[in-house]
Structure 1
C-alpha cells in the first residue's frame, strides 16, 4: 500500500508538483505514521495467515513502520532502500507465513 506518510508540518515544503496531490494522499499526521497505526490495528483481521504486507514509506520511517508491523503480529519485517539509499518499502509477514523466509532474506541480504 502507499498510505499518506508525510508529516503534516512537511507538506508545505514539498515540491509544487507533489503538493498538487490531494492533501489526504499526503498528510500522515504529526510524525507521518498515523495511517500506518490505524491500518496495522486492523490488518491482522484481514491479512491471510499466509499473506504478505508491503508498504511504501517516507524518509527515515522504515524502522518505525517495521516496528508497528511486528507489534501487529507480522514479526518478519524487512526495510528496503531505494536507489538513493532512502527507506522506501517495508515488507512484513507472519512468522509461519510462506513469505517469512523471503522477508527474512530481504532483511538479511541473503537468498531465500
Structure 2
C-alpha cells in the first residue's frame, strides 16, 4: 500500500454523539436515508435501556442531532437494533429477553409490538 493510499484510508472523528449515559452496544444506519438529498438517520442502543435516534442536520452536513429517545420498553441493556429495509420500522433487542418493534410516525416512534421469550418448563 502506498503512502497516498494509506492517507486516503485514514479515519478522523467528525463528531462525538453524546447522550447515552452507559456503554453503547450497537448502532444501525437507516437504509432509506443518506442518499438523494435525504439526511442520514442512525439508531444507537445502550446499557441504560434506551435507544437514541440521530439525524444528520442536512445532507451536506457531518453533524448529527438526537431526534428521539426510545425508552420505558426494555428493563435491561438494549443490545442490538436493526431497521427494516423500508426504514419505517426499528427492532430493538434486550437482555430482558424481549424484542420491541418500533414504527416511525412522522417524527415520533411508537412501540407497535413486543416479542417475549417465554421460559420453557419441563414436566
The normalised TM-score by structure 1 is 0.28
Q: Which has the larger radius of gyration?
A: 2
- Which protein has the bigger strand share? 2
The normalised TM-score by structure 2 is 0.26
